[in-house]
Amino acid sequence: MTSLPFLLGALTAILQAHPLCEKVIEMETKEFSLEQFFFKVRAELIGKSKLQVRIYYNQGHIDYAYQFFTEVPLLRWDNKEEFRNLATYPHHHHDEQGNVKPSPLVGDPIRDIGVVLQEVSAFLSRDHSRL
99-114: pLDDT as tens digits: 999 999 999 999 999 9
**Is 131 within 8 Å of 125 (Cβ atoms)?**
no
Q: What is the 3-state secondary structure (H, E, C) of 3-56?
A: CHHHHHHHHHHHHHHCCCEEEEEEEEEEEEECCEEEEEEEEEECCCCEEEEEEE
What was the pLDDT predicted at 1? 62
* pTM of the complete model: 0.93
Render pLDDT for 80-93 as a digit per residue (tens, 0 to 9). 988 989 999 999 99
Is 52 a residue whose pLDDT tops 60?
yes
Domain ranges of the chain: 4-130
Render pLDDT for 2-18 as a digit per residue (tens, 0 to 9). 899 999 999 999 999 99
